[in-house]
Structure 1
Amino acid sequence: MPDDTPRFTEVAPRVWVAHYDWMHVNITLIGGSDGLLMVDTHGSAAEARTVADDVRRLGAGPLTGLVNTHEHWDHHFGNATMVEQFGDVPIHATDWAAEHMEVSSAHTFEQYEQDTGHPRRDEILATTLRLPTRTFSSAVQLDLGDRAVELIHPGRGHTAGDLVVRVPDADVLLGGDLVEESDPPFIGDDSWPLEWPLTLDLVLGLMTDATVVVPGHGKVVDKEFVQDQRTELGVIAETIRDLASRGVPQSEALAAGEWPWERERLGSAVQLGYEHLPRSQKRLPLI
């Protein structure tokens, strides 16, 4: 067996994380007396088969449920494979994520149909979509036998349908893509940059100083890391508000602002920020 085979590592009692090089995705297993809950399933059927092999190699119990932290393909394209490999287990997500998964996936398939040179193109296009089967709006508690796990929609941020997973007895929180370590969080055309900092405030309120935080991508972090990321996102949101209130047009805002991240990452943030601002917070430029 190659030394670089991804393996699940226990980061807290009966909570295991496997980090995969492709997109720096994290897959998490939460163990209870009734079995294992898997949070996110990776970005293709082929990659999900590798994850399934790693689950069996861990040998910590049967897989009894899946969670998708949001509707982006790299977190749920492994759903169908997991059901094929482990049986028809329930798949949990927010109402929003489940309702928008088909449209989001169609955009992904279209993108890779056109990208004929991408090395993962055929692998991604060979994936079968499987949608969540159990959804919720604000919060739900899952019973793993001798352990309760909480799924919480803390507000809009990376998408409108993000959830975080809290394992209270182990003091672990899985942040999905509301928190990223491998790169700054991705602000895409379906993100909510003005609300994201307030959403993270609620997430931070679920933590203690000792909480183990598993981001959607990258290394395991802590509460201080999340606080720092919240501060950066807050600076972005307040800079957008300040520029708009001073009458700086959207077309000039990216160049005019002082930003905590590279400007190349913030085009969507500025566009969406201006779109989401109420009229009362915008000032017409002087002519």
Structure 2
Amino acid sequence: MVRAEQPKDATWEPIGPGVLRRRLPGLELNVAVVTGRDGILLVDTGSHEREAAELLSSLARELPAHGLPDRIVAVVNTHGHFDHCYGNDYVLRVFPDAEVWGHAALPAYLERYADAGRASGIEHGFDVDLMNAARIVPPTRLVPTGDAVTVDLGGREVVLYAPGRGHTDNDLVVHVPDCGVLIAGDMVEESGPPLFGSDAFAAEWSDSLGRVRALDASVWLPGHGAVVDEDFVVRQNHWLADVAAGRVVPD
């Protein structure tokens, strides 16, 4: 059971029936939950133990208002950057039976870049001790590039799709077909332009996003920032194509 502690104002927002998002402070990271009869699928877990703990606490306070279940049965990591998956360990301590899903390339990525991720968190202003203490727990349920896997939450199916390389080589998106919601991770960005780190694939990102668009969603949740619609995603897809063709040089 999700346990409510340290009361604070609820900050979860419905973006579809039984689908809620929370926009975390600092990096404006979006985490989300999708609910079914059997429990909750949590998308991304935050940067460290304290952030994950507060995330679960705030969720516990919000669920009764929506009449939703309070057991996390699955976790999805959209990719391996610290802010999206370094809270896995805490979530699994609270819900040890939850399955953790990710791209097939994610475990190797985390093994290679764990320390770089901690350093990146510190550079972004996160607490040094919390970042250094973050225990990296990779997913064990893996989705290879090009595959789509359906997770049954009990009367509700959620599709996990690995479209190809873009923001990283381990991007995974979450589609909720019954309400047209697409949780895109950092394949789509709203709070700033798409981020091309050293682990990004500028020449492939637009094509990968085009494959995600084929899932036919109407409500898109970016990895960071406000909820957007298909028109926004089309414009960003065109911009990414311009980057791939060398017509635009990203900052």
**Fold match (TM-score > 0.5):** yes
Separation of aligned partners in 2, 1:119 and 1:43: 8
Matched residue, 1:218: 225
Separation of aligned partners in 2, 1:12 and 1:98: 31
Instruction: Give the AA of the match of 2:209.
Output: L
Tell which structure's C-alpha radius of gyration is larger. Answer: 1
Instruction: Answer whether contact 1:232 1:260 (CA < 8 A) is retained.
Output: no
SS of corresponding position for 1:23: coil
Distance 1:44 1:2, change over 3 A: closer
Q: Does 1:149 align with 2:149?
A: no
Q: Does 1:82 align with 2:86?
A: no
SS of corresponding position for 2:22: strand
Aligned length: 240
Q: 2:191 aligns with which of 160, 182, 193?
A: 182
Q: 2:12 aligns with which of 8, 24, 29?
A: 8
List runs of 5+ in structure 2 lacking aligned partners. Answer: none
Q: Does 1:121 align with 2:125?
A: no
Instruction: Give the AA of the match of 1:10.
Output: P
Q: Does 1:259 align with 2:243?
A: no
Q: Does 1:17 align with 2:21?
A: yes
Separation of aligned partners in 2, 1:76 and 1:151: 16
Q: What's the TM-score, normalizing by structure 2?
A: 0.89
User: Which protein has greater RCO, CA pairs closer than 8 Å, 6+ apart?
Assistant: 2
Instruction: Answer whether contact 1:98 1:135 (CA < 8 A) is retained.
Output: no
Instruction: Give the AA of the match of 1:23.
Output: L
Report the identity percentage.
34
Q: 1:28 aligns with which of 32, 39, 55?
A: 32
Separation of aligned partners in 2, 1:112 and 1:173: 26
Matched residue, 1:103: 112
Instruction: Give the AA of the match of 1:222.
Output: D
Separation of aligned partners in 1, 2:136 and 2:16: 32
Q: What's the TM-score, normalizing by structure 1?
A: 0.78
- RMSD over aligned CA atoms reads 2.1
Give 1:98 deviation, angstroms: 2.2
Instruction: Answer whether contact 2:6 2:57 (CA < 8 A) is retained.
Output: no
SS of corresponding position for 1:156: coil
Give 1:259 deviation, angstroms: 3.0
Matched residue, 1:281: none
Give 1:6 deviation, angstroms: 5.2
Separation of aligned partners in 1, 2:49 and 2:7: 23
Segment drifting more, 94-103 vs 212-221: 94-103
Q: 1:130 aligns with which of 126, 137, 142?
A: 137
Matched residue, 1:278: none
List runs of 5+ in structure 1 lacking aligned partners. Answer: 240-257, 266-287
